[in-house]
């Protein structure tokens, strides 16, 4: 049987206490699954049951934050809060690291390659970044070229990070983890490696390790809003809401109109 949908405009009329930002937040948390059909967003009857509960709880005086926590705890337990599936789907793809950003740190490492090998590595790295796109064929070639760069210079941290990014984007977390770990061992100022290593730990459900990595990333780049957001998420999943609150608030200061601003406002109170 086809899953009939109730248009969003009907939902808003029927449940006036549930605002549009509440509906968006419920969708981001995976508590409802709206779908666009025929140019209009619709909600299933299962979604309506959730929205009805939210409406009643809001009318009774409960805060939206408390309502969401209850719904999530009932559905999958405390660790479902901001589950890896929802966040990974919404998280931007890891950005490509440019060689110049890490060249100085890499070249001072004791195991640095000889000049000739370094030149070959940098040439392969440059070719790889040109192919580092979303196209499947380009991605495969980029991976091969990053590996070639690392064959010539195993200490080339940007190649480790970018190769790790490609593995991470394709869901190969163990491979990404190993590459990011190697990168931060060679260069502990590699912000992208620390941040993305935190993402790997988060997706594996190892939130204590994720906290450590996000903290290291923020020590290097204090103004990076996404690191604040994911650090807050990791603390929440550990049940440490008091530790998370300053990072919700910091995210809002850095990105008041950011993608996760509504969530940060709710949880940063």
List per-block mean pLDDT (blocks of 10 residues) for the chain, which spans 269 residues. 72 91 83 83 88 93 83 53 44 58 47 67 87 78 91 91 90 92 93 94 90 96 92 86 92 89 80
Query: What distance in Å separates the CA atoms of residue 32 and residue 17, rounded to the nearest whole number?
Result: 16
CATH of the domain spanning 6-81, picked from 1.10.10, 1.10.1660, 3.30.200, 1.25.40: 1.10.1660
CA separation, residue 56 to residues 17, 31, 37, 119 (Å) = 9, 16, 28, 66
Query: What distance in Å separates the CA atoms of residue 197 and residue 165, rounded to the nearest whole number?
Result: 10
Let me know the angle formed at the C-alpha of 38 by 32 and 43, rounded to the nearest 5 degrees.
15
State residue 96's pLDDT score: 64
State residue 77's pLDDT score: 38
Residue with tokens 């091969």: 144
Task: Write the DSSP symbol of residue 93.
Answer: P
Cβ-Cβ contacts under 8 Å for 119 (sequence gap 6 or more): none
**What are the respective helix, strand and coil percentages of the chain, to the nearest 5?**
70, 5, 30
Query: What distance in Å separates the CA atoms of residue 268 and residue 265, rounded to the nearest whole number?
Result: 5
Architecture of the domain spanning 99-221: Alpha Horseshoe (1.25)
Region of residue 169 (left: phi > 0; alpha: psi -120 to 50; beta: else): alpha
Which tokens is 109 given? 């490492």
CATH 1.10.1660 spans which residues of the chain?
6-81
Return the number of other C-beta atoms located less than 10 Å from residue 48's C-beta.
Answer: 18
Residue with tokens 């994911």: 230
CATH 1.25.40.10 spans which residues of the chain?
99-221
Query: What distance in Å separates the CA atoms of residue 105 and residue 224, rounded to the nearest whole number?
Result: 21
State residue 54's pLDDT score: 93
């Amino acid at each position: 049987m086809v899953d009939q949908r109730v248009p969003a405009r009907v939902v808003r009329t029927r449940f006036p206490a549930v605002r549009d930002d509440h509906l968006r937040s419920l969708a981001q948390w995976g508590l409802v699954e709206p779908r666009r059909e025929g140019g209009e967003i619709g909600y299933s009857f299962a979604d309506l049951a959730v929205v009805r509960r939210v409406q009643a709880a809001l009318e009774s005086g409960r805060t939206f934050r408390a309502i969401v926590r209850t719904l999530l705890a009932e559905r999958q337990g405390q660790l479902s809060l901001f589950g890896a599936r929802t966040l990974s789907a919404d998280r931007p793809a890891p950005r490509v690291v440019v060689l110049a950003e890490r060249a100085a740190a890499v070249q001072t490492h004791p195991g640095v390659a000889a000049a000739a090998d370094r030149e070959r590595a940098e040439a392969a790295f440059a070719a790889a970044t040109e192919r580092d796109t979303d196209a499947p064929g380009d991605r495969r070639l980029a991976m091969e070229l990053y590996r070639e760069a690392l064959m010539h210079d195993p200490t080339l941290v940007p190649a480790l990070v970018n190769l790790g990014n490609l593995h991470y984007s394709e869901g190969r977390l163990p491979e990404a983890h190993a590459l990011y770990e190697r990168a931060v061992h060679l260069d502990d100022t590699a912000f992208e490696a620390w941040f993305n290593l935190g993402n790997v730990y988060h997706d594996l459900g190892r939130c204590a390790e994720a906290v450590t990595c996000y903290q290291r990333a923020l020590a290097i780049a204090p103004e990076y809003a996404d690191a604040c957001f994911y650090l807050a998420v990791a603390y929440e999943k550990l049940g440490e809401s008091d530790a998370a609150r300053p990072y919700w608030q910091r995210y809002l200061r850095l990105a008041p109109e950011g993608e996760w601003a509504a969530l940060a406002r709710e949880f940063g109170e």
